[in-house]
Amino acid sequence: MTVNKGLLSLVNNLPNFSNQALENAVNDIKAVDQDDGHQFILSQFSVDTAIRTNVVLSTSQKNDALETLFAEQPHLHIGRILTDVVRHTASIVDATIIPLDDTENPTPSTFLEILQSVESIQGLVPQLYGVPASDKGRGVNDHLGTLNNIFLSTEDSTQPVFTRLKEIMELIDATSRANTVSGLNLAITNVAVGNNNLTTFLNGLEADSTDFQQSLDDKINLAANKYAALQTKLALIPGDPTTDLVAIKDEITDQVSLENSNLVGIFSYIETLSDNLSFAGLAENEELRKLLARVAQNKNWQTYFEDYKTNQSNLNPLYLTDTDSDKSAIIDQVLSDSGLPDVTDATDFEAVANKAKRDSRIDTANYDRLTVEQQILESAKQLGITTANRTLQSVSGRLLNNMNQHDRDEIANRLDLNESANTLT
């Protein structure tokens, strides 16, 4: 039910959704670099922008340039990593992350459609798989985590990703300024100079530029080659931040990759889940069920339709339970409701004999020719109960216990069948 309070104030105002919170966090990390020779990430932002916005380079040339740079010590390309996150979240908010497709997505999508699709998945996955959507890598944060401050907060005592990254940038900056690692400042400066020279070259390209590929390659390689020396110096910082930087890079890029993978195909994913749910729903119709069992080429679907009636007959809301203790209580209740045990006195030989006649495990052919005592002895033998050198009362007691336990086992079996039929496999 929608909350009405405050709703009227929303009607004439747009929510103006944006990735501003993420951008603010990125800017907070950028601010560590004062651009005075002790850091390098501002130059990374500049060169990344210069490559992506260049109107002379082809798409292939841009991709080659970006990948050549990133291939050298990827964990040190903080500017590139953060720029990718900002660009990624912006594409979610404006829904351009969903590619246009003449068949599946002929018109531009909206952020609202993305949100509604993610919400649908939260219901469809549990219905079809029996687990939360997050267990299948399809939770809300598996689609929208970067927008949902996943890098700014944690659910445990560990530091958020961006907090750890900023502290490492501050450590590098402080170490460089204190000059406690010889050559660190120079290595940082060389990276910045290489990036800035490449940026200047790219910004100077004109539409009629010709034969610049070799110069472009030289500038890219010069910039890329500076990162190995920087990594060597960073590793000398007490505590060596390399491992943390690699882990942070992986956390960020893996999250972006997951969200991108989930969102790009989200409409077709929902369609598949919805269609499968609809096909399963058709099994209620006996004729359609038979048809579907014949035409389905997947063995799992064939089995589902073929076994549907049997499994459906095993379903009983009275048998729904979560724990073994619940099962015991349900068995007691069903026994009581069924008037069982119907015989409790082993000395009532006639009652015990009559109960034996109702036991499906016992062949009672020609029992009418036997005396009550003989019926008890014969029933006991069929159930593997020792009768030799035992009194009739002893045999009757063992027989009665066996049959009463069988009643209990039968109900337990129906509980298991109900649980099996009600379990998503």
CA 32 – CA 255 distance, rounded (Å): 24
CA 194 – CA 8 distance, rounded (Å): 55
CA 257 – CA 250 distance, rounded (Å): 10
Residue 120 pLDDT: 96
- Which residues in the chain come in under a pLDDT of 70? 1-11, 102, 209-210, 315-326, 414-425
Tell me the pTM: 0.74
Structure tokens belonging to residue 202: 């790219």
Count of residues for the chain?
425
Residue 168 pLDDT: 97
CA 402 – CA 406 distance, rounded (Å): 6
Residue 316 pLDDT: 62
Sequence-ordered alpha helix ranges (H) in 315-385: 324-337, 349-357, 372-382
Residue 210 pLDDT: 67
**Close Cβ partners of 115 (under 8 Å, ≥ 6 residues apart):** 144
Sequence-ordered alpha helix ranges (H) in 38-135: 41-53, 59-71, 78-93, 111-129
Residue 323 pLDDT: 58
